[in-house]
A and B are shown apart, each in its own frame.
Chain A
């Protein structure tokens, strides 16, 4: 494959599309498929045939707003329809050339205003199973550019200059990591894509893998060239069957076009990717645990250093990046590091995809430039809290993150600002809670999660989270004393500072952040045995428990 061939493919796709006046992209993401978007698509295709209109019906990737599914986007008039049923197909096709169907149209000006799509630029606009459509939108240009015009160090320099940081949550500078792996002694070297999106409440990686898988492949091949790797693995959760099947189909397509395998694009580069399925263990998102899992072992982390960059998979130098990190690589090389560095804040560059869910009007994927205030994301893009309820907190970073209250809504999103406020970026889950959520119960939920997901290798995490859960349950049940609260705070400190891996070290974060901002709720549970939100069952204290307290 050379650049002429690439252009030929792109040109062929363009010519094909010129035949049509309209293109209707029907979302075939897992969310919409569950709501039978495939049936709607078939009905649409039938309708197009009988009406004779020059319209192309495409199965596209996730359009982001899964709650309003099945979704469709009509190009080039940029009309979005939601809640589509098979019976609506006729009306949608009849409206082409005239006024859009008012009943089905979604008015989302606010939702898209302020968003900036880099990772999601193709999601919902191409057929994820057709590599040609990806190529027609500038796909694999970056790979060709890297292979023919740049040396590996040049690629690493570009990534470093762009200021891209790991999108999996840690925020480690990507260029630095690539540089370390490139310099590491040993062979073979491996590239691993971490698609073990275990953070409950986040689904960015799923959408990218389902909607634009070639972008991730391109990013991985560029990384392989830069660090000198010959073999790649992508570790995907078994809970995402659609993402797995789309990705394996895309791997075959990429191989067929010479983007994977031996002599990639006519150069000596040799690289191939294999899929490995996760098996439902949250801890496998941790890089050393993920490596153990790929090796076919129990997913338990090990001490670092040595870091995987030096000694990873089968003790060889290994580059591990998140799906979203790899998805950013191709646009950076295509548009230049300066372009990417022009977005975001001083230390957090580019854009970030968030999965905005919970008690919010527009739930779905949003991609915003770093530095945007939380308030704008929640109230402008997200449309605020529905049903007349009051905003209470926003949770970022999953079980490792924290809850931020109203006062912190003017915080500009960046890795460092979120850590400063007691939360973290995480992989990008953003869950909005209203006044019907009890923050003690939320903390308990996350600690329970960490407790069940703890691999059991180190004691602070295995026993500590269980004890924390016990104490939090006691508080929720209205049976705790101030002493228990002090003990909980002590325990948080121990677990945070002595655990082996990120899971344990960050497990106390939800407790500490809710204690920091919602201490009065804890005190209400302890002193008055009541739950202000009415979630916990502490109101129903048994007389026996009260009696026991008196006798003690």
Chain B
């Protein structure tokens, strides 16, 4: 019986060991694909070609399937995030309380669309469908910290604070 060779780690980067650890914990079974991709994303910030290939090979999943999973779920990103991330919730409660205006103001301020990163790689602007903090709507996650009852001016101020200082 042919013994399947687990591919070597793509580089010396210690983060690959964390990824490998997740796969080992699940016994390199195919159904650990999403769990492993979560680990890659949380360690590296995004998923690139090399990492998807490595995970697919290690778990013996066709590359097409791995790529299909990555592109299916909104949580996975194939673009490196900016140094700072501004995520605005566009769930129903936030919509009713005017999240659209905040998104529009942030887009205008940064001159980018949601889902994009500023050309200097400083700020990513994202939207999310409900973070479950509807009582505090409208809600934004500024670098992962939840801010409730936001107003456009407040978000702009924070974005200005993130601007690189010359």
Interface residue ranges, A against B (CB under 8 Å): 30-31, 34-35, 65-67, 69, 197-203, 206, 237-240, 276-282, 293-299, 355, 357-359, 363-364, 395, 398-399, 429, 431, 433, 437, 442, 445-446, 449, 453, 455
Docked Cα-Cα span, A298 to B131, in Å, equals 22
Q: Are A357 and B134 in contact (CB under 8 A)?
A: yes
Q: Are B148 and A357 in contact (CB under 8 A)?
A: no
Q: B19 to nearest A CB, angstroms? A: 15
With both beta carbons as reference points, the residue of chain A lying nearest to B134 in the complex is identified as A357
List 8 extra interface pairs beyond A203-B134, A299-B72, A431-B92, CB under 8 A.
A30-B132, A34-B133, A67-B136, A277-B38, A279-B37, A355-B134, A357-B135, A359-B97
Contacts A198-B129, A200-B92, A449-B129 given; does A276 touch B68 at CB 8 Å:
no
Q: Which 4 A-B pairs have the closest CB atoms?
A: A200-B91, A279-B73, A66-B135, A34-B146
Within 8 A of A (CB), among B53-94: 61, 65, 68-69, 72-76, 90-94
Contact of A395 among B30, B92, B148 (CB under 8 A): B92
Contacts A31-B148, A35-B148 given; does A239 touch B131 at CB 8 Å:
yes
Docked Cα-Cα span, A148 to B123, in Å, equals 58
Contact indicator per residue, chain B 114-143, by CB within 8 Å of chain A (1) or not (0): 000000000000001111111111000000
Q: Are A31 and B75 in contact (CB under 8 A)?
A: no
Q: Are A277 and B34 in contact (CB under 8 A)?
A: yes
With both beta carbons as reference points, the residue of chain B lying nearest to A446 in the complex is identified as B92
Of B91, B94, B146, most buried by chain A (CB within 10 Å of CB) is B91
Docked Cα-Cα span, A111 to B144, in Å, equals 32
Docked Cα-Cα span, A259 to B30, in Å, equals 29
Cβ-based interface call for B32 (8 A):
yes
Q: Are B32 and A296 in contact (CB under 8 A)?
A: yes
Range of interface residues on B (Cβ < 8 Å): 35 or more
Docked Cα-Cα span, A123 to B63, in Å, equals 44
CB neighbours (8 Å) of B73 from chain A are: 279-281, 299
CB neighbours (8 Å) of B94 from chain A are: 200
CB neighbours (8 Å) of B147 from chain A are: 34
Docked Cα-Cα span, A237 to B74, in Å, equals 12
Q: Are A34 and B129 in contact (CB under 8 A)?
A: no
Contacts A200-B129, A239-B131, A281-B74 given; does A297 touch B65 at CB 8 Å:
yes
CB neighbours (8 Å) of B38 from chain A are: 238, 277, 279
Q: Are B129 and A280 in contact (CB under 8 A)?
A: yes
Contact of A201 among B30, B33, B92, B148 (CB under 8 A): B92
Q: Are B93 and A280 in contact (CB under 8 A)?
A: no
